[in-house]
Amino acid sequence: MKLPAANDYVVSGTVLLAAAATLLVIATVTNRGDLTSATLFLCGVATFLAGVFMLSFSRSEPFDAEVASLLSVPGMLNQCRICADLGVRGDAWFLPPAEGGGPLREFIPVAGQDVPPVVPDFTFVTGPDTPGIVLVPAAAPLIDYCEKKFSLVIPSAEGELVAAIRELALDVLELADGVEIVRNGDSLVMTVRGYRLFSGCMVVASESPKCCSMHPCGICSLAACMLARGTGVPWQVSHVSFVEGKKQVTAILRSHPSPAPTGAGPGSSR
């Protein structure tokens, strides 16, 4: 079994200490007593201090992001497979909390693009007009955690929402190297570069690209949840594409033209 490489800080500190020792040995052995020897000695001392600094700040590496990205894959695939076996073919709508509060929800219609005016607090919506399945969005627990841990505030204006998504993904969670969200007609196009959970995306997409729009996960679910919570209308991830060499994910998100569902309906447990 191949063991993980050493901590980058430890490797850097060790290299710097070795370089410092080499410079000091050369300065001592040559003992020329001129400007060159003095420069070598000063460089050796500076390199030694830099190595000690690197080693003093070294710590164990965090959990491997590639490993973390694979942990949720079976659950996502199983939910998509169950939906497909039940005849559900639609793409998920991320529903904002009902008036008066409540959780974020995800509605997957059997077919079409409609959202029922009232969504009951049951998994299966069996109404004749817009049947479908109600699930918990993949990113909903993460948003709840960020609200408690980092005092996340989700704004309502689109420009501020875009900035909040970028700040959360880049500065707080450090999920990617870059996130760009731009308006394109009636949709928002999100481009994520250097996505650290990319390996999980590729496993899900290789099973079926439909999974990425039927039950989105990761940063796509995070963006759709924040847009739904902020704007108060349903949002959908209508298309997702990948660039494997750059670990790049491009998602197209669009809002529903009709108002958000009003909450639990008849027969609900709430």
Asked if the model's pLDDT at residue 262 lies above 80, the reply is no
Is 112 domain-assigned? no
Q: Domain residues for 38?
A: 8-56
Which pLDDT tens digit goes with each residue over 183-220? 998 899 999 999 999 999 999 999 999 999 999 999 99
Which pLDDT tens digit goes with each residue over 96-132? 987 767 889 999 999 888 888 778 778 888 877 888 9
Asked if the model's pLDDT at residue 254 lies above 70, the reply is yes
Domain boundary among 17, 36, 56: 56
Same-domain status, 51 and 148: no
Same-domain status, 188 and 238: yes
- Round the average pLDDT of the chain to a whole number and report it: 85
- Residue 265 has a pLDDT of 44
CA angle (224 as vertex; 168, 70 as ends), nearest 5? 75
Percent of the chain at pLDDT > 90 equals: 51
The model's confidence at residue 257, banded by pLDDT at 50, 70 and 90, is: confident
DSSP state at residue 207:
H
Matching residue, tokens 């509605």: 107
Higher pLDDT, 84 or 59: 84
Is 123 domain-assigned? no
Is 141 domain-assigned? yes
Do residues 192 and 248 make contact, with C-beta atoms less than 8 angstroms apart? yes
Same-domain status, 173 and 90: yes
Same-domain status, 33 and 97: no
Q: Where are the alpha helices (DSSP H) in the chain?
A: 8-30, 35-56, 65-71, 73-85, 140-149, 158-167, 198-207, 211-214, 218-231
Q: At what angle do helices 198-207 and 73-85 cross, to 10 degrees?
A: 20
CA distance 195 to 205: 15
Asked if the model's pLDDT at residue 78 lies above 70, the reply is yes
Asked if the model's pLDDT at residue 169 lies above 90, the reply is yes
Rg (CA), the chain: 26
- Residue 5 has a pLDDT of 54
- Picking from 227, 257, 209, 226, the residue whose alpha carbon sits closest to that of residue 249 is 209
Is 39 domain-assigned? yes
- Residue 120 has a pLDDT of 79
Cα-Cα-Cα-Cα dihedral of 168, 224, 108, 83, to 10°? Answer: -40
Percent of the chain at pLDDT > 70 equals: 90
Same-domain status, 15 and 100: no
Same-domain status, 244 and 199: yes
Both tokens of 12, joined, read 């850097």
Q: Where are the alpha helices (DSSP H) in 118-258?
A: 140-149, 158-167, 198-207, 211-214, 218-231
- Residue 62 has a pLDDT of 61
Among 72-76, 120-124, 261-265, the least confident range: 261-265
Same-domain status, 73 and 18: no
- Residue 122 has a pLDDT of 82
The number of domains in the chain is 2
- Residue 11 has a pLDDT of 80
Same-domain status, 12 and 95: no
- Residue 112 has a pLDDT of 81
- Residue 269 has a pLDDT of 36
Same-domain status, 85 and 177: yes
Same-domain status, 246 and 185: yes
Higher pLDDT, 76 or 9: 76
- Residue 266 has a pLDDT of 40
Q: Quote the pTM value.
A: 0.76
- Residue 240 has a pLDDT of 94
Q: Which residues pair with 190 in a beta bridge?
A: 181, 251
